[in-house]
Amino acid sequence: MAAMLQQGMRSHREQTMASDDYPDWLTAEHRTGTTIMAVEFNGGVVIGADSRTTTGAYIANRVTDKLTPVTDKVFCCRSGSAAATQAIADIAKYHLNFISIEMGEQPLVKTVANVFREVCYGNRDSLTAGIICAGWDKREGGQVFSIPLGGMCVRQPFAIGAVALAMSRDGSSGGIIRLAAIDESGIERRVILGNELPTFYEG
């Protein structure tokens, strides 16, 4: 009887997984990490992040703000060790204050990204941090730079996927979504609460 039940369950599972109505990503294993994203548009950038901070399997904070202002019109999206990424952001702000005083104006987005790159690369052996640097400047408009583990700096028109779908598939992402749109006129921030998030079929 038990053998027949197991065989029936296996057969049902195989049929379900083979079905065109059952997407492949539903059978993929859950992954851990932070969900951050940034996208350039004509005139600015939009950035977003989830809000969950974990300590091992324990959810330490459900409403963390992972979008950190660095200058008036440049933000960084932080992923990795919370302590390391916050320290990197503070060090970058410290250096950028000197640069803005020296130049008499706000630094370019590329300059901000390169400061992050130097800090991440110089401490690559002791840091666990992935940063997206995004913002607007009067020379090149909206820009997105990705600074992954190791300290490489690459400009990309977009970085990472859509936040809500990524959160639904990622065991360490969750909570609320924080968004910010940055353009010439300034910064507009928005929070999407958990009950307002779009839902995806998960079987």
**What total number of domains does the chain contain?**
1
Q: Is residue 53 part of a domain?
A: yes
Catalytic residue list: 34
For residue 61, what pLDDT is reported?
80
Q: Is residue 148 part of a domain?
A: yes
pTM over 0.85: no
Asked if 75 contacts 134 with a C-beta cutoff of 8 angstroms, the reply is: yes
Q: Is residue 135 part of a domain?
A: yes
Pick from 77-81, 88-92, 154-158, 166-170: least confident:
166-170
Read off the CATH number of the domain in which 145 is found: 3.60.20.10
Question: Which contiguous run of DSSP H or E holds residue 142?
Answer: strand 141-147
Pick from 48-57, 120-129, 141-150, 177-186: least confident:
48-57
CA distances from 112 to 18, 147, 164 (A): 48, 11, 28
Tokens representing 196 are 């307002």
Q: What is the pLDDT of residues 64-73, one digit of tens each?
A: 889 999 999 9
For residue 50, what pLDDT is reported?
86
Q: Is residue 15 part of a domain?
A: no
Q: What is the Cα–Cα distance from 203 to 199, expressed in whole angstroms?
A: 12
Q: Is residue 200 part of a domain?
A: no
Q: Is residue 201 part of a domain?
A: no
Q: Is residue 65 part of a domain?
A: yes
Give the amino acid at 14.
E
Domain span including residue 106: 31-192
Q: Is residue 6 part of a domain?
A: no
